[in-house]
């Protein structure tokens, strides 16, 4: 099939750009580890309260400056609803739900996860800036969806 | 092609019936949209305890599913009847069956939403559980659309039989591609509704596999947006050249772009599920690569459109690099509205690439940026093109002509739409970058300073929403006039001719076994392994919840 010369130039440029974009995404994801939250761990959504670590939700120190933050989402709240994190801490957030699908977004960061019944989702982030962060549910979960929120306080180390 | 060709009266009635339902959906869904932007401004609360989420579900279902599907099927019936000849009585009969099934299904779905039994939004993610009537209504809409699809296939098959060795008319070919795309992708939503959601909502089974249901939904959900877009491309490729007095740049490249849409718009659903647990990131990336491939036919379309415009302008004596722009018929709403739609597709498409990129998606996922994005793609590009098509299609079908005054009103309507959408979608994009969530009623999240920053943008959305609602009133005035009150007369159904310089179309492009074979192969490559993983490693299922 004949393609006009100008169209060839246009398509080579266009398709070339797409491959550049894909390479950037791919290198960032596979070489630098910037993968989207894709945890494969499963959990019985009706036994969240008895299943560790979600039987004791909250911040747990796991190493030098390393923490795990285990959170439980349910209509229409997060447990715990307030968390203090020392500045500079590397935190792995694990989150699951007891009922329907929820979102887990920390406003102003790239922490953004779907929380689905039966699964744990997880993302690791270093909190370098002190201040207050809002956690909110960004996936519709029912009448109180827009009231579903929690806070993270990043505080300077004592 | 013969210019006096008219759509047969009986086929016109069938097409018009679809278009009437589409515009009724626009009126009601648009009102719901206005109310949402007002609620989100924080200055207004809904009366009589009406829930924001009931209104939101109404808006999404009526505009995302009803307006689009009805307009598209009505337009395609008209286009196929115009270019491949009048329907047989049997084809038309099945077309009416499809219409009534879809209409009854819509009424049923709307009823259960409005009585508050189905505030599950138009994506109806389990384990939120709606009344079985909601799922049944949606099933009827989909089954009705399938019947209409098969009616079009039957008519196309007859044309091929009567014209051996000939290339089918471009518009008919495009309508067939779009209905094949629709059929292949809606199998996914039919599977989750019929096998999972309906039995579960009826209490026949207790639990549902949430991730499988969502995956089947998004297997359908992304090609759905191409099912909306392709009819707009039909107008751009095959009709706009005739309206401006130019020629179709290339028949075979137009067909090739539609074939690429068929291949690449389905195996890409994971880019809606990038933030999701339970799916290996490798398979997410595979589908992101395929998602980027679907940009190629859009790049081809952009080239073809502007080539047509420039060729036409130069044939009228335009000189200089951009002199041809001045020769275009800016005062003709049939051209102006779709042209503005094309322009808006440039930022819309760029935003789409952002959404499909892992790391950027993490910033915007489920924020109101996404809502801003599809109010550019669907609610501007596609909808303005549909409006532009309605300005000749409705009078052609109703045996009337558009007056100069109505044309002027249609130009104003387009400008009103641009202003309203710039405010609304623009502020949605900005608020989304600041983290404002989509699909949420007004909230300050306990006076969070970050949430308070979004309020000015939410007020801008309400201003934009109000202007857009004025735009909806204007288009309803025009459409009502064209259907019932405009002066009687003959309006042309414009169908473009191919430029003399273009090459002949290879017949291999209509080898459906090959086309559908490649489509299915790509779907199997993208989905088989992750889907087996989902089922093998499935967690305990979920009970239904009614949390509204």
Q: For residue range B27-40, what is the model confidence (pLDDT) as tens digits?
A: 999 999 999 999 99
| For helices A5-26 and B281-293, angle between their N-to-C axes, nearest 10 degrees | 170
- The pLDDT, as a whole number, for residue B1 is 40
The domain spans of chain A are 1-35, 45-155
- The mean of the pLDDT values for chain B is 95
SS3 state of residue A34: coil
3-state helix, strand, coil in chain A (%, to 5): 25, 40, 40
Res. B319 pLDDT band, cuts 50 70 90: confident
- The pLDDT, as a whole number, for residue B228 is 96
CB pairs under 8 A between A and B: 223
- The pLDDT, as a whole number, for residue B63 is 96
- Cα separation, B128 vs B118, in Å, equals 9
Tell me: pLDDT of B448 over 60: yes
Asked if residue B224 lies in contact with residue B145, where contact means CB atoms within 8 angstroms, the answer is no
Residue A144: CB atoms within 10 A of its CB come to: 15
Query: Which residue does chain A place closest to B287, by CA atoms?
Result: A22
The C-alpha angle with vertex A33 and arms to A150 and B537, in degrees rounded to 5, equals 75
Q: Which residue among B59, B92, B131, B222 is the active-site one?
A: B222
Tokens of B234: 């039909």
Asked if residue B222 lies in contact with residue B247, where contact means CB atoms within 8 angstroms, the answer is no
User: For tokens 């067939």, what's the residue?
Assistant: B176
Asked if residue B335 lies in contact with residue B235, where contact means CB atoms within 8 angstroms, the answer is no
Q: Say yes or no: B53 contacts chain A, CB-CB below 8 A.
A: yes
User: Rounded to whole angstroms, what are the CA distances from B32 to B50, B111, B393?
Assistant: 11, 15, 27
Give the residue among A18, A12, A158, A7 at the shortest CA–CA distance from A86. A158
Q: Which of A42-51, A91-100, B45-54, B339-348 has the lowest mean pLDDT?
A: B45-54
- The pLDDT, as a whole number, for residue B3 is 40
CB within 8 Å of A27: residues ≥ 6 apart = none
Q: Write down all domains in chain B, each with its CATH number in brackets.
A: 9-536 (1.20.210.10)
Q: Which of B140-149, B319-328, B532-541 has the lowest mean pLDDT?
A: B319-328
Asked if residue B401 lies in contact with residue B487, where contact means CB atoms within 8 angstroms, the answer is yes
Pairing outcome for strands A102-106 and A77-79: unpaired
SS3 state of residue A4: coil
DSSP string, B106-160: HHHHHHHHHTTS--STTTT-TTB---HHHHHHHHHHHHHHHHHHHHHHHHHHHHH
- The pLDDT, as a whole number, for residue A37 is 93
Interface with A, mutate which of B49, B211, B279, B539 (most A CBs under 10 A)? B539
- Cα separation, A124 vs A115, in Å, equals 15
Tell me: pLDDT of A95 over 80: yes
Average pLDDT over residues B194-222: 96
Q: Say yes or no: A51 contacts chain B, CB-CB below 8 A.
A: no
Q: Which residue among B374, B423, B442, B493 is the active-site one?
A: B374
Residue A109: CB atoms within 10 A of its CB come to: 17
Tell me: pLDDT of A11 over 50: yes
Q: Say yes or no: A31 contacts chain B, CB-CB below 8 A.
A: no
Contact between A112 and B121 using a beta-carbon 8 Å cutoff: no
Give the residue among B354, B143, B214, B483 at the shortest CA–CA distance from A117. B214
User: For tokens 């499988």, what's the residue?
Assistant: B212
Average pLDDT over residues B351-377: 95
Say what percent of chain B tops pLDDT 70.
99
What are the two backbone dihedrals, phi and then psi, of residue B229, each rounded to the nearest 5 degrees? -75, -35
Tell me: pLDDT of B320 over 90: no
- Cα separation, A99 vs A120, in Å, equals 13
In this predicted complex, what is the ipTM? 0.94
CB within 8 Å of B175: residues ≥ 6 apart = B76, B79, B80, B152, B234
Buried b (16+ CB within 10 A) or exposed e, B366-396: bbbbbbbbbbbbbbbbbbbbbbbbbbbbbbb
Give the residue among B349, B239, B348, B335 at the shortest CA–CA distance from B297. B349
Fold assignment, A45-155: Immunoglobulin-like (2.60.40)
- Cα separation, B147 vs B437, in Å, equals 38
Tell me: pLDDT of B500 over 80: no
Res. B396 pLDDT band, cuts 50 70 90: very high
- The pLDDT, as a whole number, for residue B2 is 42
**What are the chain B neighbours of A40 within 8 Å (beta carbons)?**
277-278, 280, 537
Asked if residue B489 lies in contact with residue B400, where contact means CB atoms within 8 angstroms, the answer is yes
Tokens of A134: 């809002």
Contact between B537 and A40 using a beta-carbon 8 Å cutoff: yes
- The mean of the pLDDT values for chain A is 94
CB within 8 Å of B53: residues ≥ 6 apart = A140, A142, A143, A145, B119, B121, B441, B548
Average pLDDT over residues A116-141: 96
DSSP string, A37-102: P----B--GGGGGGSTTTTS-EEEEEETTEEEEEEEEETTEEESSEEEEETT-EEEEEEEESSS-E
Say what percent of chain B tops pLDDT 90.
92
Q: Say yes or no: A52 contacts chain B, CB-CB below 8 A.
A: no
Average pLDDT over residues B35-54: 92
- Cα separation, B32 vs B63, in Å, equals 10
Give the residue among B390, B378, B382 at the shortest CA–CA distance from B475. B390
Tell me: pLDDT of B300 over 60: yes
- Cα separation, A148 vs B445, in Å, equals 8
Average pLDDT over residues A3-32: 91
CA neighbours within 13 Å on the CB side: how many for B245?
10
SS3 state of residue A123: strand
- Is B90 catalytic? The answer is no
Residue B350: CB atoms within 10 A of its CB come to: 12
Q: How far is B487 from chain A (nearest CA, A)?
A: 44
């Amino acid at each position: 099939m004949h393609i006009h010369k100008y169209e060839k130039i246009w398509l080579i440029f266009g398709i070339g750009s797409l491959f550049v974009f894909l390479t950037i995404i791919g290198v960032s994801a596979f070489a630098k580890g910037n993968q989207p939250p894709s945890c494969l761990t499963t959990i019985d959504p009706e036994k969240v309260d008895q299943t560790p670590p979600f039987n004791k939700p909250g911040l747990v120190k796991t190493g030098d400056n390393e923490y795990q933050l285990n959170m439980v989402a349910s209509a229409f709240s997060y447990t715990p609803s307030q968390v203090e994190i020392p500045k500079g801490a590397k935190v792995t957030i694990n989150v699951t739900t007891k009922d329907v699908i929820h979102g887990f977004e920390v406003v102003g960061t790239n922490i953004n996860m779907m929380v689905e019944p039966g699964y744990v989702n997880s993302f690791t982030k270093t909190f370098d800036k002190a201040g207050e962060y809002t956690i909110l549910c960004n996936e519709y979960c029912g009448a109180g969806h827009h009231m579903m929120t929690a806070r993270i306080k990043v505080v300077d180390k004592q | 092609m013969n210019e006096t060709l008219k759509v047969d009266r009986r086929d016109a009635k069938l097409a018009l019936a679809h278009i009437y339902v589409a515009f009724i959906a626009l009126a009601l869904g648009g009102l719901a949209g206005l109310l949402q932007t007002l609620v989100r401004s924080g200055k207004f609360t809904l009366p009589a305890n009406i829930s924001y989420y009931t209104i939101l579900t109404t808006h999404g279902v009526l505009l995302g599913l009803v307006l689009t599907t009805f307009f598209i099927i009505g337009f395609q019936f008209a286009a196929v009847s115009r270019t491949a000849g009048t329907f047989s009585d049997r084809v038309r009969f099945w077309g009416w069956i499809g219409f009534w099934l879809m209409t009854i299904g819509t009424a049923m779905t709307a009823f259960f939403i409005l009585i508050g039994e189905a505030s599950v939004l138009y994506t109806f993610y389990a384990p939120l559980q709606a009344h079985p009537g909601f799922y049944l209504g949606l099933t009827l809409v989909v089954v009705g659309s399938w019947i209409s699809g098969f009616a079009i296939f039957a008519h196309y098959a007859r044309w091929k039989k009567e014209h051996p060795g000939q290339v089918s008319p471009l518009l008919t070919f495009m309508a067939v591609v779009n209905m094949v795309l629709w059929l292949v992708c809606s199998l996914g939503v039919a599977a989750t509704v019929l096998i999972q959601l309906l039995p579960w909502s009826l209490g026949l089974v207790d639990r549902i596999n949430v991730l499988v249901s969502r995956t089947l939904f998004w297997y359908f959900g992304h090609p759905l947006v191409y099912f909306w877009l392709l009819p707009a491309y039909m107008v751009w490729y095959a009709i706009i050249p005739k309206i401006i007095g130019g020629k179709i740049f290339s028949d075979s490249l137009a067909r090739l772009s539609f074939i690429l849409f068929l291949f690449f718009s389905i195996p890409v659903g994971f880019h809606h599920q990038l933030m999701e647990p339970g799916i290996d990131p490798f398979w997410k990336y595979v589908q992101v690569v395929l998602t980027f491939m679907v940009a190629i036919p859009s790049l081809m379309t952009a080239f073809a459109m502007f080539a047509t415009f420039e060729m036409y302008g130069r044939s009228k004596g335009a000189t200089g690099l951009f002199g041809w722009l001045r020769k275009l018929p800016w005062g003709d709403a049939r051209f102006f509205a779709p042209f503005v739609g094309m322009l808006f597709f440039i930022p819309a498409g760029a935003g789409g690439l952002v959404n499909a990129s892992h790391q950027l998606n993490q910033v915007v996922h489920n924020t109101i940026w996404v809502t801003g994005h599809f109010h550019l793609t669907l609610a501007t590009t596609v909808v303005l093109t549909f409006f532009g098509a309605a300005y000749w299609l409705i009078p052609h079908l109703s045996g009337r002509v558009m007056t100069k005054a109505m044309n002027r009103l249609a130009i104003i309507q387009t400008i009103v739409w641009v202003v309203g959408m710039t405010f609304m979608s623009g502020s949605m994009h900005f608020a989304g970058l600041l983290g404002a969530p989509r699909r949420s009623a007004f909230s300050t999240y306990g006076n969070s300073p970050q949430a308070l920053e979004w309020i000015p943008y939410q007020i801008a959305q309400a201003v934009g929403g109000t202007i857009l609602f004025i735009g909806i009133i204007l288009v309803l005035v025009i459409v009502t006039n064209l259907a019932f009150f405009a002066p009687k007369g003959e309006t042309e159904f414009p169908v473009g001719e191919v430029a003399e310089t273009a090459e002949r179309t290879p017949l291999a492009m209509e080898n459906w076994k090959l086309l559908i074979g490649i489509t299915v192969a790509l779907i199997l490559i993208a989905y088989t392994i992750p889907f087996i993983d989902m089922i093998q490693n499935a967690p305990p299922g979920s009970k239904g919840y009614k949390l509204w």
